[in-house]
Amino acid sequence: MSNKMWGGRFGESPDAIMEEINVSIDVDQHLYAQDIAASKAHAAMLAAQGIITANDAKNIVGGLDTILSEISGGGFAFKRALEDIHMNVESRLGELIGPAAGRLHTARSRNDQVATDFRLYVRDVIDDADRALAAFQRALVDRALEHAGTVMPGFTHLQTAQPVTFGHHLLAYVEMAARDRGRFADARKRLNESPLGAAALAGTSFPIDRHATASALGFVRPMANSLDAVSDRDFVLETLSAASIAAVHLSRFAEEIVIWTSPLVGLVRLSDKFTTGSSIMPQKRNPDAAELVRAKTGRIIGSLTALLIVMKGLPLAYQKDMQEDKAGAMEAFGALSLAVRAMTGMVLDIEPDEARMKVAAGDGYATATDLADWLVRTLKMPFREAHHVTGRIVAKAAEGGLPLHKLALGDMQAIEPRITAEVMDVLSVEASVASRTSYGGTSPENVREQAKVWLKRLEKEQNPG
C-alpha cells in the first residue's frame, strides 16, 4: 500500500519502529498557530499570483480558521501516523474542503514550512522573554529604591570585602537583565527573515512573491538563499545562547538567596510563598524556588549544547537530524520563562534583616580600604604604602579582637604617628557607603538616582507614546 505522503515511490508502509522514530507531532503540535498563520499567508500569495484561484484560497483560509479553532479549543485529534503538524493540518483541511486542500502545498515544502514556523515561534518566545525580564527589572528597581540606604556586606571570593547597599546589589542584576534583553533583541533582528518559498532547498519554478508572504508574517524580508533558509538553525542557537546567559544570571542570584537565607548567614528571609518545609524536620524552611532556578539553568544550557552537537556535522541542506531542534529548545524556553517569573516573585517577597546586614557589613574589617584611602587623601601617602600601613593596623585590631572603629587612636598612631582623630569619621559602614559617590558606586545617593533612571526607562518602554 502506497504511503499517501510519499506518493507512488513507496509501495509499502514503514516499519512500526520507523514510524516511532520519525514522528514529531508530539513536539511540533506546539507550532500549530504559527503553521496555520504561515499557510494562510502562503494561500493568499498563491491566489494573488494567479497560481491558485481566489475561491480555492478563500476555502483554504476558511478551513484553516476552522482548524485553528478546533486545536485552540482542544477538539482536534492529532494523528501520529501523519507524523507532523504540517500533515495533520493538511489532512484535516482535506476533510473540511476537499481536493482544494491539496493545492495549498504548491510551491513550498515541509522544509521551508518548519523553518518558517519555528522562526515565528522563537520570535514569539523572544517577545515573551523580553516582557518577563522587564517585569523582573521593575521588581528589582522598586526594591532597590526601597533599600537604597540599607547597608550590607559586599563580597569577593565570598569573603567580606567592602560595605555596599542592598539597593546597589539589586541594581547589578537590573544591568545584567538589560544586557540579556539586548541579546534577545539582537537575536530577534537576525532571525526576522522569512524562509517561506525556499521550498525543499532550491526555490521553486512557480512565480511566487516571497516578499508578500514575508511582509504578511511580520518578517523584514525573505531569506536570500534557499539552501541557507532550510538548512540552518543558528537563530535557535543564538536565542538559546541568550537564554543560557540570562539563566546563568538568574542562577547566580538564586545562589545568593540560598546563601543569604541560611540561618548561618541570615541576611534575608523568604515568606511561605517561596519556601517549603521538610517531611521529617518541622523547623525547616527551604528556599526550594531559588534552588530550582539554579537547576533549570542546567536544562537550558544542556539544550544549547545538544543542538550545537546536532548541527555541527550536517552538510547542506535539510537533514532529518534537524527534527531534534525543537523539543530541547521548547523545554529550555519554558524553563527560562518559569525561572524569570519565580525570581521576580522572590524579589518582591524577600525581606532583608537590616540589623544583621549592618553588623555583617562591618565584619572582617570591611572598612580597611576606607582607612587606606584616608591615608592617601589626607596624608598624601602613596597607595601602596597606605595599603601596608592599613594592613598593620588591621593586624593590631585583630590581635585585640576589635573592629577598626573600636581600635584606640593611640594604637593607630603607634603605627603611623600622623593619623588624627578625623580618621574615625570614615571607619563606620555608613560613612563607607556614603563616600562611594563615583559613577556606578554604591552610595545611597547614587542608588536612588540610578533607580529613578531605570524607572523612567522601564515606564517609557511600557508606554512609548
Q: At what angle do helices 288-311 and 234-261 cross, to 10 degrees?
A: 160
Tell me if 249 sits within 8 A of 182, measured CB to CB: no
Residues 6+ apart with CB under 8 A from 267: 152, 260, 261, 352, 353, 356, 357, 360
CA dihedral 209, 210, 215, 216 (to 10 degrees): 70
SS3 content of the chain, % helix, strand, coil (to 5): 70, 5, 25
Q: Catalytic: 278?
A: yes
User: Residue 362 corresponds to which cell in the numbers above?
Assistant: 562591618
Q: What is the DSSP letter of 222?
A: E
Q: Catalytic: 157?
A: yes
User: Residue 81 corresponds to which cell in the numbers above?
Assistant: 501516523
Tell me if 317 sits within 8 A of 201, measured CB to CB: yes
Residues 6+ apart with CB under 8 A from 365: 394, 397, 398, 403, 404
Q: Which of 2, 69, 271, 278 is catalytic?
A: 278
User: Residue 274 corresponds to which cell in the numbers above?
Assistant: 517561596
Q: 105: exposed, middle or buried (C-beta count within 10 Å: 0-12, 13-18, 19+)?
A: middle
Tell me if 209 sits within 8 A of 48, measured CB to CB: yes
Q: Which of 24, 147, 157, 405 is catalytic?
A: 157
State the Cα angle at 140 between 134 and 141, rounded to 5°.
90
Q: 226: exposed, middle or buried (C-beta count within 10 Å: 0-12, 13-18, 19+)?
A: buried
Report the Cα–Cα distance between both ends of the chain, in Å, rounded.
Answer: 62
Tell me if 329 sits within 8 A of 290, measured CB to CB: no
User: Which H helix or E strand runs over 193?
Assistant: strand 193-194
Q: Would you call 118 helix, strand, or coil by DSSP? A: helix
User: Residue 371 corresponds to which cell in the numbers above?
Assistant: 582607612
Q: Grid coordinates 540589623 are at which residue?
A: 355
Residues 6+ apart with CB under 8 A from 363: 153, 160, 403
Query: Which of 176, 82, 85, 125 lies closest to 329 in space, CA to CA?
Result: 125
Q: At what angle do helices 110-146 and 327-349 cross, to 10 degrees?
A: 10
Annotated catalytic sites, by residue? 157, 278
